[in-house]
Amino acid sequence: MTKIKYILVSHAIIARKKGVPITYTIIHLIHLYGAFIYGGFLFTDNLFMSKMAQSLAPEEAQKAREAIMKHVRKVVPPALIVTVLTGIYLFTHVFGEIGPDGMTRFQILLSIKAFLGLWLGIRGFNQVYLKIDPFLFKSHRFPFVLVIIIIALSQLMHV
């Protein structure tokens, strides 16, 4: 069997073993796109946009940032909401029963991931739609760190 065929076949077997409906796969995909849009903005903002003031005059940097942020505000907060709602759906399908020996490693890490994701969601919703500013960490660094942790947990929980 060629390597590529082997990879395709083994992945198909894994997907079938998981036994999830196709709706799950579609929602999972939407979750990933939402996480990419939301997380992608936080990476761009923290790694690159925050450095604009190094090359531009303060008012130019402010103008340049606003030119980007007016589009960000239309797309990124809804992407966060989509990520959280799809996450809740995924959670209810994969968390499973808690056995007599307590939670599995997967269940513990998924719970931490879901808690952090919900926190980000509630924090973002309050800030953007209810205009309630978080009492802690006003910058985008805090959500950036949380997203890095959430993405790591989303992979480590399967190990």
**Closer by beta carbon to ligand HEM, 49 or else 151:** 151
Neighbours of 97 (CB within 10 A): 6
38 makes contact with ligand HEM (CB under 6 A):
yes
117 makes contact with ligand HEM (CB under 6 A):
yes
In order of 11, 33, 69, 129, 152, the CA distances from 73 in angstroms are 37, 17, 6, 11, 26
Residue of the chain from 45, 87, 109, 123 that contacts ligand HEM (CB under 6 A): 87
Residue of the chain from 35, 45, 109, 144 that contacts ligand HEM (CB under 6 A): 35
* Residues forming beta bridges with residue 102, ordered by sequence position: 99
Report how far residue 85's alpha carbon sits from residue 27's, in angstroms, rounded to the nearest whole number.
10
Minimum CB separation from ligand HEM for residue 158, in Å? 7
147 makes contact with ligand HEM (CB under 6 A):
yes
150 makes contact with ligand HEM (CB under 6 A):
yes
**Closer by beta carbon to ligand HEM, 52 or else 91:** 91
Render 16-66 in DSSP notation, one character per residue: HHHT--HHHHHHHHHHHHHHHHHHHHHHHHHHTGGGHHHHS-HHHHHHHHH
- Could you give the 3-state DSSP secondary structure of residue 1? coil
User: How many residues bind to ligand HEM according to rule CB under 6 A?
Assistant: 24
The HSE-up count of residue 40 (CA atoms within 13 Å, CB side) is: 11
The HSE-up count of residue 79 (CA atoms within 13 Å, CB side) is: 18
Report how far residue 91's alpha carbon sits from residue 88's, in angstroms, rounded to the nearest whole number.
5
Minimum CB separation from ligand HEM for residue 4, in Å? 20
**Closer by beta carbon to ligand HEM, 68 or else 118:** 118
**Closer by beta carbon to ligand HEM, 77 or else 120:** 120
Residues that bind ligand HEM (CB under 6 A): 28, 31-32, 35, 38-39, 80, 83-84, 87-88, 90-91, 94, 110, 114, 117-118, 120-121, 147, 150-151, 154
